[in-house]
Structure formats: C-alpha cells, structure tokens
Amino acid sequence: MRYSGFTLISQALRGHTGWRPAWREASPKSTYDVLIIGGGGHGLATAHYLASRHGINNVAVIEKGYIGSGNVGRNTTIIRSNYLLPGNTPFYELSMKLWEGLEQELNYNAMVSQRGVLNLFHSDSQGDAFARRANAMRLAGVDAELMNLEQVRTMLPFLDYKTGRFPIRGGLLQRRGGTARHDAVAWGYARAADSRGVDIVQNCEVTGIAVTDGRVTGVETTRGQIKAKKVALAVAGNSSRTAAMAGMRLPIESHVLQAFVSEGLKPLIDCVLTFGAGHFYVSQSDKGGLVFGGNIDGYNSYAQRGNLPIIEDVMEAAMALWPALGRVRLLRHWGGIMDMSMDGSPIIDHAPVQGLYVNAGWCYGGFKATPASGFCFAHLIAKDEPHPVAAAYRLDRFATGRLLDERGVGAHPSLQ
Amino acid sequence: MRIACPHCGLRDVQEFVYLGDAAPQRPDGLAATEAAMFEYVYLRDNPRGLLEELWYHGVGCRAWLVVRRDTLTHAIEYVGLAKSRKAGAAA
C-alpha cells in the first residue's frame, strides 16, 4: 500500500479499518542469497539498498528481538556531516544527501528536520580548530558557517553569556544538519525492503556462523539452520560476540551510552546545540521533550543501563550552558550499547572468512550514518568491492596504521 | 557502581579511572613482532559476562587494581592489587 494524501482521506472515510501491517511477519526460508544479521537501522537499510540498487531480493534480515529494539531506537536522533578527515567527510555527506531524499524514496515519513546543528566553541584554539573543520567541510562540498558571538547570541539568547566558566566565543553551524524520527527510520526501511521481497525475521537469534573451508555457508539460529551464500553482520553493540562465532577478534569494546529526555515543554530551542567545554548536546522533539546526552559511562558494559555519575556530569554541563534548565524535570533516561572502536571510526569491510562482511564500530555516531552505511554495505556485499566513499573503513587499517582518528586520543575506546 | 579497594574500602566509582581489559600483556618492545604488537594494542575479547580489568584509584590510594566484573550486570566479583598480580600472586 502506497501512502499518500488520498489513501489517508479514503482510510479516514472508512474509519481507518483498511490499513495493512507495514511489513510481513516472515518465517525464515531454508536458504538465501544474502543473510543480514541485525534488524536495526543499518541492517534494514542494507537490505533496502541491496534490493533497490542491486536487484538482490532473496535477502533475509535476522533480528534477535523486534526490529528497531536496539540502538536505532536508543539514540538522540541527530543527523549531521560535520567531519574533518578526508576518509570521513564524503561518507557522512553521502549520508546527509540520502537523508534529504529519504522520505520520498521510502514513501514513509521519517520526520527529517534540517533545523541546523550548532557546535559552540569557548576558546581561541577551539575556534581555530572549528575554522579548520569548517574549511575541510566546505572543501568537500559540505555546508558550514562559522558564527561569531553576536550571531550565536541572536540565535540562542537564553544561554549563559555572562557568568560561564568557559565563556561562549562562537560556533560552527551546519544548517543542513538536524534530526530525524529514529523509529520511523527503522520502520520505513523495513517497509521498503519488505515491499521488494526481503524477509524480515524477528525473534530469531543467531547462535552460530557456519564456515566450511574458509567460506561461510549459513547460520545457526534459535529457529533452525539457515543457509546463505553471503552473511553480513550489522549488530553494533554485540559485534565482538557475533564476530567471535566466525573466529574473529575485533578492535572493539562495548560501552554503555546514556541518553535523556525531559518532560514536554513549549518550543524552547529550534536547532541541535552542542556544548564545547564539556560533553553535552540537546535538541527538542516535536512532542516538546528536550532530548539530550553526553559521554559514555567509560567502562566495558553490555547492560543497557548506566550509572549515576554520568547523569550528574551531563546535568552539570547542561546547567553550565543553559541555567534555565535547572527547573526542568527529567522524564526518563536509558542506555544503549556502543561498539567503541580503537580509533573512533567504523568498519565496513570483508571479513577474513569468504562471504562474510562486517559493519561495526560505529561508536556513538551510528544513527546519522544509517543511510550511507546501508548504501555502502550493500555495495560491498553486491559487488565485493568497497564503495569509494567508504573505502577508508577497512578492517586491516589498525594493523597497517591507516587509522581514522577523528578525535586523536589513541587506542582507548573509553575516551573516543 | 562502587569498587571495594583493598586499601581504602568500598568507594564510589567516580574515584577511579578505567583503563580496560587486564589480559593483554605488552610484548617485549625490541623483540616483539608487528603482529604481536598489533594484537596487544588493538584486539580485545570484549566478553559479555566476566571480565578482568584495570582500574586506577586516582582519588584514593593511587594503586592500580585488577577488578573482575560482570559486564552484563556490573556486579563485581573480585578486587585485587595489580602489583601483587604482576609479582606472580594469584589474581
């Protein structure tokens, strides 16, 4: 069923009794051309682009829970492409371009809102670093504007400009950045992939990867054995565990990242704002809740919940930037498990096992990358060669020294 | 989360700095192969469950600790001094 103004009106006249489920409840077949492990944003996007761009429809997405129950439903919904390194900028810009056409492509309202992402800076040196980043972005064809203090004050008059320990000096604005409705991204990709024949199998956990003579032959699951010519991992958070089933060790640690939402408020802030003197970022959802977050907890964790010190840390940063938030009540907070890679950048590459592909290591930046990750992963799986904009995301870059250390803190996942 | 430091008793996790998995042992610098160094610096088991890891009690006794902790429940099973482990004592 194609969604349109006409179907909405005709359904309204019929009391909304004719809507169909957006995707089928599929049972696994015995064999597939491509089997994708992980029904999150990246896995579902991969399935969609495999079917729509490469004509590969005999595809299954295997999900241990329900689709969108992992990190695609646990992030803070921000989309942006303000990256510095040549290996990153074109990839995230491809993602931004795909976001811009996503709703038309999927015929699904993902509520993509290009409200702007403003990164504040608080010192001359930080301003210089942001100017360099803005120049790198513009050289790569990405929009970037450096804002001085007066321009920031005009945009956001309610921040603390008087008493801040780290006074605001300006900001880097990407107007095309913004937010998207994260669950709808998973649902939209699922519906689009399903409509092209992809089987989305929920409540089916992969328990083993079958390898014969160095070549993958299928997977063992809680719903039986499934054969596949190619198997693709898109299980960020649990990448190390899944890769271990094929005998691999990854340069990844799993860490917990918390996020927060306040009670619903009247419109307060019309962009995505990040604090430069601590780790805090905030935007406002269409329901009115302030959606915000900060650092990872900083120790290995597979628990989808965090501890109190980080909550205190995030609230302190919020108060330092925007004192009026002191009267706002927190509605809820939650945690998601991040694949923290050793250089802070992702991996989209072949595995040493033939026919096995790895999409992992997204740290806490996976949501914005969802469209390009699926696009490039599908390209890799279909053509057996990396997409040009994702060519730097090699698995062997840690051994060869071609790291993508956007943050430059060394091989410390807890600091990325 | 609180860690029972052998010197200072039960202390809040904010007093500690995390390093990570305690298992990787630095290969002998001059003799090490590139592959051994790569494995030491980058590859991790990253288990879901019990993990022995290194924590530094920076706001307390400034000792390096080995903590055996469940990464799924955050429950801590054992805390010892990294120094005594290095000297060959049972961890």
Contact A300 B45 (CB under 8 A): no
pLDDT at B86: 67
Sequence spans of domains, chain B = 2-26+43-84
Query: Would you say the C-alpha torsion A192, A197, A198, A202 has a positive or negative sign?
Result: positive
Q: Tell whether A299 is within 8 A of chain B (Cβ).
A: yes
| Cβ within 8 Å of residue A308, ≥6 positions away | none
- If you write DSSP's letter for every residue of A265-331 in order, what string do you get? -S---SSEEEETTTTEEEEE-TTSEEEEEEEEEEEE---S---HHHHHHHHHHHHHH-GGGGGPPEE
The segment(s) of chain A belonging to CATH 3.30.9.10 are 112-177+254-340
**Whether residue B89 has pLDDT greater than 50:** no
DSSP A369: T
Residues of chain B positioned with their CB less than 8 A from the CB of A342: 41-42
The segment(s) of chain A belonging to CATH 3.50.50.60 are 23-81+84-107+182-251+343-390
The closest alpha carbon to B53, from B66, B37, B70, belongs to B66
- Residues B36-76 have pLDDT tens digits of 999 999 999 999 999 999 999 999 999 999 999 999 999 99
Query: Domain B2-26+43-84 - what CATH class?
Result: alpha beta
Total-model pTM: 0.95
Say if residues A348 and A358 touch (Cβ distance below 8 Å).
yes
Nearest CA in chain B to A250: B43
Q: Please give the average per-residue pLDDT across B7-31, as a whole number.
A: 93
Q: State the architecture of A23-81+84-107+182-251+343-390 in CATH terms.
A: 3-Layer(bba) Sandwich (3.50)
CA distance B87 to chain A (A): 26
Say if residues A190 and A166 touch (Cβ distance below 8 Å).
no
Contact A300 B53 (CB under 8 A): yes
Q: Provide the greatest CA pair distance for chain B.
A: 41
Residue B3: Cβ-neighbour burial (10 angstroms; 0-12, 13-18, 19+): buried
* Per-residue model confidence as pLDDT tens for chain A (416 residues): 899 999 999 999 999 999 999 999 999 999 999 999 999 999 999 999 999 999 999 999 999 999 999 999 999 999 999 999 999 999 999 999 999 999 999 999 999 999 999 999 999 999 999 999 999 999 999 999 999 999 999 999 999 999 889 999 999 999 999 999 999 999 999 999 999 999 999 999 999 999 999 999 999 999 999 999 999 999 999 999 999 999 999 999 999 999 999 999 999 999 999 999 999 999 999 999 999 999 999 999 999 998 999 999 999 999 999 999 999 999 999 999 999 999 999 999 999 999 999 999 999 999 999 999 999 999 999 999 999 999 999 999 999 999 999 988 888 898 88
CA distance B40 to chain A (A): 10
For residue B18, give the nearest of A238, A302, A414 by CB distance: A414
Q: Is B67 left (phi over 0), alpha (psi -120 to 50) or beta?
A: beta
For residue B1, give the nearest of A307, A342, A413 by CB distance: A307
The closest alpha carbon to A339, from A220, A265, A255, A403, belongs to A255
The pair of three-digit structure tokens given for residue A393, joined into one six-digit string? 């995301």
What is A112-177+254-340's CATH topology?
Answer: D-Amino Acid Oxidase; Chain A, domain 2 (3.30.9)
Measured CA to CA, the distance from residue B69 to residue B60 in angstroms comes to 20
Q: Is A188 left (phi over 0), alpha (psi -120 to 50) or beta?
A: alpha
**Whether residue B88 has pLDDT greater than 80:** no
Say if residues A221 and A106 touch (Cβ distance below 8 Å).
no
Interface test with A, best of B14, B18, B42, B59 (most A CBs within 10 A): B42
Tally Cβ neighbours within 10 Å of residue B84.
Answer: 13
**Whether residue B90 has pLDDT greater than 60:** no
Residues of chain B positioned with their CB less than 8 A from the CB of A302: 48, 71-72
